[in-house]
Amino acid sequence: MSSPLHAVSIEDLRLAAKQKLPRCIFDFFDGGAEDEITLKANRQSFHNTLLLPRILRGVESIDTSADILGHRCSLPLAIAPTGALGFGKHGADIALARAAADRDLIYTLSSSATTSIEQIARQAPGRHWFQAYILKNKDFFYSLIDRAHAAEYEGLMITVDLPVGGKRERDNKNQFAIPFKLNPRVAFDFMSHPLWLSQMLANGIPVLENMLGLDGQKRGINNLASSVGRNYDPSFNWDDLKRIRDYWHKKLIIKGVMHPEDALRLVEMGCDAIVVSNHGGRQLDTAISTLRALPDIVKAVDRKVPVLLDGGIRRGSDILKAIALGADGVMTGRATLFGAVVQGENGASHALNILKEELIRTMQLCGASEINQITADLILKHEHSK
């Protein structure tokens, strides 16, 4: 496949990324923890959830717009935080943010992005959330929050499922690390992808821009990524989160929620939205899929705050299924990442076009002309329990 614009599915974009990128880079984006059971379960749950369509409802005109935290979006979708995109393609963070802005969609910038908070605000103006990992260095952590506030990000996303990093065995087998540690295997992998390599040589190795200065690191990549990993704070608890709630006066979104009791407690604390997420299967392997966790969390929060679903979105029908099971919207990570790392803004836009076109067709075939007409009766109940 020469161009992602020829892709007819997100899987086609994934295969285009696999072809373009060195194996160790692709596996870093594509892989999960340990045996990747949860990674696969996120997709399998959508496969096992069958639709029960309605007919004769008049579906000539379809409205895919939806409200997410008080703003109308063209799709019930926000871009999930995805770190290190620049290792796939220089400028991929900005490209993805621009593709989202063109559709009035929310773009979430990762703490571990290869573009800074300020660069996104300047070069891709639109609706932005900033995703913060919890770091031991609290002065540095709060400085990131202050920078997001100064750059007028409308939401702060706290990722709570990363007290320690997951065991991602593909990375171990590929001997992959950030910064790159060249050895014969990695060097051969890089040289086998000359277009990617020439781009890296021409533009320089990307930097995790928002982490510059962590633990005294100067501009450069030496030990920067490993420093970030060492600085995750496993002691972070409910009291710490309450301090963040009191400090940040805009929208606070909590990502990484899988248990209904935790979701209810977050509502009581005053958080503004919850993202049901298992980190794309990259953290705790054998955790349940997000689609299976969703209904109990929706029931627990009782519509007091919006609930978004993250993990495994690859089809427009996946978006419909998540909404039918109670989500207010979804977040996409890998689906748009694959397009962005292959062909920048055009690739990211094409990924969003695929998802939108599939959602429209699925809504028409299910008899729903608006998002609020996507209801639980469109799901075959006993199939979803698998």
Q: Would you name the residues annotated as active-site residues?
A: 279
Write the single-letter amino acid at 49: T
Cα(49)–Cα(239) distance, integer angstroms: 38
Q: In a 10 Å sphere around its CB, with 0-12 CB exposed, 13-18 middle and 19+ buried, how is residue 239 labelled? A: exposed
Q: How many CB atoms lie within 10 A of CB 65?
A: 12
What backbone torsions phi and psi does residue 172 show, to the nearest 5 degrees?
-65, -45
Cα(227)–Cα(211) distance, integer angstroms: 9
User: Would you say 233 and 189 are in contact if contact means Cβ atoms under 8 Å apart?
Assistant: no
What is the DSSP secondary-structure string of 137-189? -HHHHHHHHHHHHHTT-SEEEEE-S-SS----HHHHHTT--SS----HHHHHH
Cα(215)–Cα(224) distance, integer angstroms: 9
List C-alpha distances in Å: 360 to 317, 339, 370: 9, 20, 10
Write the single-letter amino acid at 341: V
Per residue, the 3-state secondary structure of 195-237, as one string, reads: HHHHHHHHHCCCCCHHHCCHHHCCCCCCCHHHHHHHCECCCCC
CA angle centred on 36, ends 106 and 197, rounded to 5° = 65
